[in-house]
Chains A and B, each alone.
Chain A
Amino acid sequence: MKKLFFAISALLLIHTSFAQKRYFTKTGTVSFQAGTALEDIDGTNKSTTTVFDASSGQIEFSLLVKGFEFKSALMQEHFNENYMESDKYPKSIFKGKITNIDKVNFQKEGNYPVTVKGTLELHGVTKDVETNGTFKVAGEGVESVAEFVVTLEDYKIAIPGVVKDKISKTAKIKVNCNYAVLK
Chain B
Amino acid sequence: MYAFLVIFFAAAGFGFYLYNKKPADVRKLSANYELSAASLLEDFNKDEKAATLKYLEKVIAVTGKVADIKVDASGQATVFLDSGDPLAGVTCSFYDEEAKSLAGVQKGSTVTIKGNCTGKLMDVVLNKCSINK
The residues of A with any CB-CB pair to B shorter than 8 Å are: 26-27, 29, 46-47, 49, 62-64, 66-67, 69-74, 76, 87, 90-91, 178
Contacts and interface: CB of A to CB of B under 8 A. Distances in A.
B102 interface: no
A139 to B, nearest CB: 13
Contact of B121 (A46, A49, A72): A49
Interface of B: 18-24, 52, 56-57, 70, 72-73, 76, 78, 80, 91, 93, 118-123, 125, 127-128
Task: Give the one of B56, B73, B118, B122 with max A CB within 10 A.
Answer: B118
Contacts of A62: 121
B23 A69 contact: yes
Contacts of B19: 72, 74
Given A27-B72, A76-B23, A90-B119, A67 B127 contact: yes
Contacts of A46: 76, 78, 93, 127
A47 B128 CA distance: 11
A26 B91 contact: yes
Which of B19, B52, B56, B127 counts the most chain A CB atoms within 10 A? B127
B21 A26 contact: no
Given A74-B21, A178-B72, A27 B121 contact: no
A29 B75 CA distance: 12
B122 A26 contact: yes
A73 B128 contact: no
B74 to A, nearest CB: 8
19 contacts: A26-B78, A26-B91, A27-B70, A27-B93, A46-B76, A47-B93, A49-B121, A64-B120, A66-B56, A66-B119, A67-B93, A71-B22, A72-B20, A73-B24, A74-B19, A90-B56, A91-B119, A178-B72, A178-B73
Contact of B125 (A47, A70, A73): A47
Given A27-B78, A73-B21, A47 B72 contact: no
Contact of A47 (B21, B56, B127): B127
A62 B52 CA distance: 17
